[in-house]
C-alpha cells in the first residue's frame, strides 16, 4: 500500500509540474501579437499583411477574460484578400483560411464573365458568387428585386438553371472546390437531387426550407386561429408549420398554447391546479375546432413533475407518498391524445 501511495504521489507531482509548465507557456503565448501573426503569414505564404482585427492578443483585461478571437488580416498586394488567422484556446495560431478565400476569389474571377454566369443572369438571378469568406455559402445567387421564392416563375427559372449550375459545379471541382448545394436567397438547393419538373423542385425545396415558404399560407391560416378567440380562455395560440408536401400548403401544423399572465402576475401553468386544468380543457376544445391539419398540441410554461408518470397525482399527493417532489417548468410540453379528449380528467 505504501509503495502505491508513493507512486501516486510522484505521478501527482509530475502532473502538477506539467500543468504548471503548460499554464506558464499558455500565459506567455496567449493571443499572438500582431508582429507574430504578420511573421506567420509571411513565412507560410510569402505575403505581407495588415492586421485589421486582433482582439485575442490582449491579456489581463476583464472584458476579454479567457475568450479567444480569431485575428483578421488583409493582404498588401493587388488582390487585397481578407482572411482569418485562427487562434486556439491556448493562445497560439492553429491555422488560417487563406487558401479557401483565395480559391473563392480565383473562381469568381475566372467565371464572372463566363457563359455559365451569363445564362444564370439571363434567368433573372443576381449577385452570383462563390462568396468571399470561408463562412459564406459555397455558391449563392439572389432573386430579382420584387421576386420571392414561392413565385411560379422563379421555380421555372431555377429549374431551367439546374443544368447550368451543374456545369459550374464541375468547373469548381476541377479546382478542388466542393459545392454540393447552392443558396438562392435563404433557400438551400441541393445540386445532386433529382427534380421531375419545376413544381416537383418547388415542393422538395419547400419541404427542406419550410420557413422560406410559410409566407404563402401563414396569414390566412393564422387568421383561422385568431378567429377562435383563444385569449378568452387565457391563452395565446401560435401556429408552426412542421411539414410541407405541396409548396404553398402546410401539410402538418403544431399549435402552441401559452398562458396569458394573470392578474397576480403568474404566467406559469400548473398541471394539478383545477382552474388551470379547466382552462387547458377549454383550450383543447377550441384547438379541435380549428379547420387546419394540427398534428401536435403543445403547452408552454407548464409546471409538471420531473417524472411524466407522476402527472397522475397532485403535487400534494406526491409529497405525502414520497416525502418530496421534484417539479420543473416545461416549455412546449406535448399534450398527448388531445384529439380524443371529451371530458376534464387527470
Q: For 187-245, write each residue's pLDDT tens digit.
A: 999 999 999 999 999 999 999 999 999 999 999 999 999 999 899 888 999 999 999 99
Give the tens place of pLDDT for each residue, 128-153.
999 999 999 999 999 999 999 999 99
What's the CA gap between 318 and 339, in Å, rounded? 28
Residue 311 burial (10 A CB sphere; 0-12, 13-18, 19+): middle
Name 181's Cβ contacts closer than 8 Å, sequence gap at least 6: 138, 139, 188, 189, 190, 191
The DSSP bridge partners found for residue 250 are 244
For the sheet containing 187-190, what is the strand order? 126-129, 140-142, 181-184, 187-190
DSSP letters for 68-92 = ---EEEEESSSS--EEEEEE-TTSS
- At residue 253, does pLDDT exceed 60? yes
**Cell, residue 246:** 405541396
Helix, strand, or coil (residue 258): strand
Give the tens place of pLDDT for each residue, 66-114.
677 899 999 999 999 999 999 887 778 889 999 999 999 999 999 999 9
What confidence score (pLDDT) does residue 66 get? 61
Place of cell 429549374: 159
What confidence score (pLDDT) does residue 16 get? 41
Total residue count of the chain as it appears in this document = 346
Give the tens place of pLDDT for each residue, 153-177.
999 999 999 999 999 999 999 999 9
Helix, strand, or coil (residue 18): helix
Helix (H) or strand (E) holding 285: helix 274-289
Which of residues 5 and 124 earns the better pLDDT score? Answer: 124
**Cell, residue 258:** 401559452
**Cell, residue 79:** 488582390
Ramachandran category for residue 51: left, alpha or beta (phi over 0 → left; psi -120 to 50 → alpha): beta
What's the CA gap between 309 and 169, in Å, rounded? 54
Q: How many CA atoms lie within 13 A of 175 on its CB side?
A: 18
Give the tens place of pLDDT for each residue, 20-74.
344 334 333 434 788 999 999 999 999 999 999 988 655 554 445 567 789 999 9
What confidence score (pLDDT) does residue 108 get? 97
Residue 336 is given by DSSP the state: T
Amino acid at each position: 500500500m505504501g509503495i502505491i501511495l508513493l507512486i501516486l504521489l510522484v505521478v501527482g507531482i509530475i502532473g502538477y509540474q506539467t500543468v504548471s509548465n503548460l499554464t506558464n507557456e499558455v500565459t506567455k503565448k496567449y493571443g499572438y501579437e500582431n508582429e507574430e501573426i504578420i511573421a506567420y503569414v509571411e513565412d507560410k505564404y510569402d505575403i505581407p499583411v495588415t492586421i485589421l482585427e486582433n482582439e485575442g492578443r490582449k491579456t489581463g483585461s476583464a472584458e476579454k477574460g479567457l475568450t479567444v478571437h480569431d485575428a483578421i488580416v488583409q493582404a498588401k498586394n493587388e488582390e487585397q484578400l481578407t482572411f482569418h488567422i485562427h487562434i486556439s484556446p491556448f493562445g497560439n495560431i492553429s491555422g488560417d483560411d487563406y487558401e479557401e478565400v483565395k480559391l473563392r476569389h480565383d473562381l469568381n474571377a475566372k467565371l464572372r464573365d463566363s457563359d455559365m454566369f451569363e445564362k444564370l443572369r439571363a434567368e433573372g438571378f443576381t449577385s452570383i458568387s462563390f462568396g468571399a469568406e470561408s463562412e459564406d455559402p459555397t455558391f449563392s445567387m439572389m432573386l430579382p428585386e420584387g421576386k420571392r421564392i414561392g413565385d411560379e416563375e422563379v421555380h421555372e427559372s431555377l429549374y431551367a438553371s439546374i443544368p447550368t449550375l451543374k456545369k459550374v459545379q464541375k468547373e469548381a471541382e476541377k479546382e478542388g472546390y466542393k459545392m454540393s448545394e447552392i443558396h438562392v436567397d435563404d433557400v438551400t438547393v441541393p445540386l445532386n437531387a433529382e427534380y421531375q419538373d419545376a413544381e416537383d423542385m418547388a415542393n422538395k425545396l419547400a419541404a427542406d426550407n419550410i420557413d422560406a415558404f410559410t409566407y404563402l399560407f401563414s396569414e390566412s391560416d393564422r387568421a383561422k386561429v385568431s378567429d377562435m378567440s383563444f385569449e378568452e380562455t387565457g391563452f395565446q395560440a401560435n401556429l408552426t408549420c412542421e411539414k410541407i408536401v405541396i409548396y404553398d400548403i402546410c401539410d402538418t401544423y403544431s399549435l402552441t398554447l401559452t398562458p396569458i399572465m394573470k392578474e397576480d402576475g403568474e404566467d406559469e401553468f400548473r398541471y394539478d391546479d383545477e382552474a388551470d386544468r379547466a382552462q387547458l380543457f377549454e383550450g383543447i376544445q377550441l384547438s379541435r375546432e380549428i379547420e387546419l391539419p394540427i398534428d401536435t398540441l403543445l403547452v408552454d410554461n407548464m409546471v409538471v413533475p420531473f417524472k411524466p408518470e407522476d402527472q397522475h397525482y397532485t403535487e400534494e399527493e406526491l409529497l405525502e407518498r414520497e416525502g418530496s417532489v421534484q417539479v420543473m417548468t416545461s416549455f412546449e410540453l406535448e399534450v398527448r391524445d388531445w384529439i380524443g379528449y371529451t371530458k376534464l380528467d387527470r
